[in-house]
Amino acid sequence: MTTIKKYGNRRLYDTSRSGYINLEQLAAIVRSGEPVQVVDARTGEDLTQEVLLQVVMEALKGAELFPPEMLRLIIMATGDDPWHRALRDQLVAGMKLVGAQMSQVERLFRGPAGVGGGPWPSPPGARSPTAPEPPSPAAPDATPDPGGDPELDELRARLEALEQRLGRR
């Protein structure tokens, strides 16, 4: 894990590379798949979440990831009553689901060798195959099994219950 120290003057120091970095460089480190932890240089307090939010909003200009309606939902979820906690749980579950789906799509595009063959850049140092191998006829279907993941089944049941409570069904 890469440790980044944040100083009072907003400067970020990458301890593994022994140098100062900016938000764009931090975004590149995260994009490469390297886990990072940002700590306050004076107190040692974990600032990872705060700084990564800063990367999204300042360096990436929000990257159009958060339309105004989603930002309103996030702000609405900041209270302490059960409704706010449930909304936060649903937002987290939704983002985890999107992340899992994106990982599966990435694996499908990268092919069996795990590199090349897709719109995403290969990891640093990865070799691109000369030609992608066709899937073997005995390979299982790449579509997810609708009843195979207990966590996904639980999320579907929770979503259905919420929709029923909201009168959408």
123, containing H or E segment? none
pLDDT in tens, 15-60: 999 999 999 999 899 888 899 999 999 999 999 999 998 888 877 6
pLDDT given at position 130: 45
Judge whether 96 and 84 are in contact, CB under 8 Å: no
Residue 154 CA: distances (Å) to CA of 68, 90, 133, 151: 29, 12, 36, 5
pTM: 0.52
In the β-sheet with 19-21, what is the strand arrangement from edge to edge? Answer: 19-21, 12-14, 2-6, 36-40
Distance CA 69, CA 113 (A): 40
pLDDT greater at residue 65 or residue 72? 72
Res. 150: pLDDT tops 70? yes
Range 122-140 average pLDDT: 49
Res. 136: pLDDT tops 70? no
Distance CA 156, CA 145 (A): 13
